[in-house]
Structure 1
């Protein structure tokens, strides 16, 4: 039996699509035949022309409006929206280190881009009676690290709750809304963090990885997920193979979260 995902010529937008997980999702969708637009604050273009890149700051309303407008103009509609953009720049130090400005930045990066792009692009999906929205959340909303990820985890929790509510509203109109909740992913940034921790601790890279895994309470799989592994899950959920899946959150964390 063929396992063709049926993504040929599907029109997709991936936010945060030039690095880490976002770049892996772009590659997976494009390799499956989708027409992909990807966003980042700065872009250098794509040498083989498979992907259309849009430079925009999605932490602002104007940036989201620019991206939505360009996607609809170029593609004439949208079939798949994958909100990968996220991250944290909040300082360590627990609740006392989190000023109003730090809280605002975490929500502007991890919640509002998804809200704004959904609001701008959902009408075209509703008009055609089909579409898939995938929001990348995080296991941090279940396992926050009080010293450094409180605001990030809260923003991802808000994204997860928003996604569930949205799925109830738009699934009867033909649009599926699903969430992908990764644990630690071994991106270039994660590798750099492990190397820095290893240097500070006087150990090697594997020692640095273990420091991170131990901070998460351990990863039973024994390693972090690879970007391509998470991207494959996203591509499957975006496909017709997952046509009965909506409103759910799919954890890919190597067993980090200790409960089902």
Structure 2
């Protein structure tokens, strides 16, 4: 996706954190916020494959309380504040096979990654946002919060539904104190992981890449726009929502899915 706009310095002076910001949509979001003038921190377990000279990297395992505490303390010690928190980290690694194939551990892991980690990071950074009477928190959820797929990602879908609900409730508590809380729910995004998935399907089913992509869209019930989103398209929405241009938006879920969800 070609850059079409000049974002100026609308986020100049702002400190932003993007979890899972080393690849995929998270990386695109981090780069978009940097383009708008923010100083951007990215975090993941492992160092990015390419040095992101414009982004500040903190290594942290957010699946553990210690990792969350380390991240919060390092951000506050280094920068003294956080203005924008993008809770992008998430995903599903549970096996296929439906309900019976899922263990309690599968459920606990998915709920921890996709719901409890954002909750814990909000708890870590919200107090200083409230003290400053300013801040933006965006939870990256999924259309599976509304359109669950039962074969392999039911725990993920349930956790994302919980995240959407929690995000709405939190927004009602803190909006009057200057902190905006929003949710962005993407559909299928063509990330590096999606490319690998289509390649695996293509190879295992002996079909073309295009046919493999079509099979994924069919599993979702179809995408009216006929393609997945590009990471930069999701990043553009997030960039707008963090900007002063979105100052009156809070508590809303923004769905970016090319029309996948078939109902209003």
- TM-score, normalised to structure 1's length? 0.97
- CA gap of 1:68–1:146, structure 2 versus 1, over 3 A, is same
Q: Could you tell me how far 1:140 is from its partner in structure 2?
A: 0.5
> Matches of 1:154 and 1:228 in 2, distance apart?
26
Aligned residue runs from structure 1 range 157-236, under 5 A: 157-236=161-240
> Matches of 1:59 and 1:22 in 2, distance apart?
17
Instruction: Please point out which of 18, 23, 40 is paired with 2:22.
Output: 18
1:246 aligned onto 2:250:
yes
Q: Is the 8 A contact 1:5 1:240 kept in 2?
A: no
1:133 aligned onto 2:117:
no
> Matches of 2:20 and 2:52 in 1, distance apart?
19
- CA gap of 1:44–1:150, structure 2 versus 1, over 3 A, is closer
Identify the range of structure 1 (20-29 vs 4-13) with the bigger mean alpha-carbon deviation. 4-13
> Matches of 2:162 and 2:185 in 1, distance apart?
13
Q: Is the 8 A contact 2:19 2:43 kept in 1?
A: yes
Q: Give the match's secondary structure for 2:129.
A: helix
Q: Which residue of 1 aligns with 2:3?
A: none
State the Cα deviation string for residues 7-66 of structure 1 (Å, max 9, x = none). 112100000010111111111111111001110001148746321101111111111111
> Matches of 1:44 and 1:110 in 2, distance apart?
21
> Matches of 2:148 and 2:136 in 1, distance apart?
28
Structure 2: runs of 5+ lacking an equivalent? 1-5
Q: Give the match's secondary structure for 1:36.
A: strand
> Matches of 1:17 and 1:188 in 2, distance apart?
13
> Matches of 1:58 and 1:152 in 2, distance apart?
17
1:84 aligned onto 2:81:
no
Structure 1: runs of 5+ lacking an equivalent? none
1:112 aligned onto 2:116:
yes
> Matches of 1:46 and 1:208 in 2, distance apart?
29
- CA gap of 1:225–1:145, structure 2 versus 1, over 3 A, is same
CA RMSD of aligned residues (A): 1.5
Q: Give the match's secondary structure for 1:225.
A: coil
Task: Count residues in correspondence.
Answer: 260
1:68 aligned onto 2:72:
yes
